[in-house]
Amino acid sequence: MKKHEIIIVVCGFIVWGLLFMDRMSILYMMPFIAPDLRLTATQIGMLTSALSITWALSSSIFGRISDLVGRKKILIPAIFTFSVFSWFSAVARNFVQMVAFRALLGVAEGPTTATIYATVTDESAPARRGLNIGLTMSASALVGMGVAPIISTQLAAHVGWRWTFFLVGIPGIIMGFIVWKFVREPQERVVEKREHHAYGELLKYRNIWFSMLGSAGMITWLMLTNTFASEYLVEVAHISKTQSGLILGIGGIAGFLWTFGAPWLSDYVGRRWTILACGLLGALTPFVFVYFGNSVLLLTIGAILFNAGGGAAPLVTAAVPSESVPHKLSGAAIGISVAIGEIIGSTIMPTVAGAVASQTSLAAPLWLAGIGGVAMMVAGLGLRETAPRKVDRLPSAEPAVEL
């Protein structure tokens, strides 16, 4: 692996982890924040949705812009901006201010998402693209869902939730300078950045449609599982809170391993079959909870297995979209895949699942999470292969990705 490729992956991993720490910390600190701001459960959900929708829109827009003006011109300001906007949350005095600040945070984090993915895919050797984007995205599980709950709650308990927002934003400022100093503009992008292409051209590619489906399914699975699994285990399966935390924590560690392990495997066996397998295991989520809910051991084993659903994330949101279109459209392809996934999976489905759960039971959101896994399976079946090792072996030299 080349030196600059290693630098890109390491910087991408840290930036992506810090981004998810800023995104998720508010959820972990909610027991501290909600009483101060007098937030209702509905308002808490709206805070998540506000960030998700602006993240989706800005990811799509600025992913396209980065194709035209270059990655660093978007990435560097975005890193500094999302770190500063994290500080804004610390001064919110009511729900209206907080929802506005979280929406602004999403505006900054969306461009970071699209451009960091695109930069990693641009600078990775084709044979290592799956591994590199998987390593980068695995930071969301390790830092955003593993380290962040511990750090944010401990800091909130000792210095208060407002100071915590200031403190967790500082590493992002530092990384902004590091990325500015050590990460260069992808060389192919420098040559092509002035070329303009219609955004609608993306929809001519079969794989873009299935990438959007896979992204929507993956984020639906991810958000519904993380939102409702703990409550189901405690309220329905009557698992203790500590046991529930242990089960989901072990599953989260497994998710970190799956997130880079599955894309790495896809470099060798292909993207399609890897996405299909991850979707199949993700689809097992409701069966694990509903039918093995009385056994901590079986729940733990099940959590390790169904967290493979997260292994499809780097593939459906970054690797496949970027490999399916001309290089000059890769940022836009990644942006639109992320945007559709965020709009459906992170903005619409949690609200739908909560409403269905209120009318039926807490098992309903988990069945919907399983449907997200099925959507990933369908995407895997519908995609045309893009993994360089597999495509190079195809007898035909014609593109395998257009409609």
Candidates 216, 234, 197, 220; CA nearest to 325 is 197
Three-state secondary structure call for residue 123: helix
CATH of the domain at 341: 1.20.1250.20
pLDDT band at 128 (very low <50, low <70, confident <90, very high): confident
- Find out whether 114 and 334 touch, Cβ atoms under 8 Å: yes
Q: Is the pLDDT of residue 121 over 90?
A: no
- pLDDT per position as a tens digit, 195-222: 455 567 888 899 999 999 999 999 999 8
Distance CA 273, CA 380 (A): 6
Q: Are 214 and 272 members of one domain?
A: yes
Cβ atoms of residues 19 and 145 within 8 Å: no
Question: What was the pLDDT predicted at 167?
Answer: 92
43 and 178: one domain? yes
The whole-model pTM stands at 0.81
Same domain, 135 and 228: no
Question: Which of 179, 195, 211 marks a domain boundary?
Answer: 195
DSSP single-letter state for residue 387: -
In terms of phi and psi (left: phi > 0; alpha: psi -120 to 50; beta: otherwise), the region of 70 is left
Considering its fold, how many domains does the chain have in total?
2
Tell whether 380 and 339 lie within a shared domain. Answer: yes
- Whether the CB-CB separation of 332 and 202 falls below 8 Å is answered with yes
Q: Report the phi/psi class of residue 238: left, alpha or beta, with left for phi > 0 and alpha for psi in -120 to 50.
A: left
What's the mean pLDDT in 231-258? 83
Q: Which residue has the tokens 């720490």?
A: 21
- Give yes or no for a contact between 101 and 89, defined as CB atoms under 8 angstroms apart: yes
Range of the domain at 326: 197-403
Residue 194 has pLDDT above 50, yes or no: no
Place of tokens 């099940």: 302
State whether 190 and 238 are in the same domain. no
Helix extents (H) in 29-71? 30-37, 41-69
How far is it, in rounded angstroms, from Cα 337 to Cα 384? Answer: 16
Q: In whole angstroms, give the CA distance from residue 102 to residue 133.
A: 27
Helix-helix angle 349-359:363-382, to 10 degrees = 140
* pLDDT tens, residue by residue, 55-89: 888 988 888 888 888 888 899 999 999 889 889 99
Where among 158, 180, 195 does a domain terminate? 195
233 and 310 both lie in a single domain:
yes
Give the separation between CA 397 and CA 200, rounded to whole angstroms.
Answer: 25
- Rounded to 10 degrees, the C-alpha dihedral 385/391/395/396 comes to 70
What's CA 48's distance to the chain center, in Å?
A: 14
How far lies 301's CA from each of 27, 82, 289, 306, in Å? 26, 37, 11, 9
Rounded Cα gap, residues 144 and 142, in angstroms? 6
Q: pLDDT-based confidence at 316, cuts 50/70/90?
A: very high
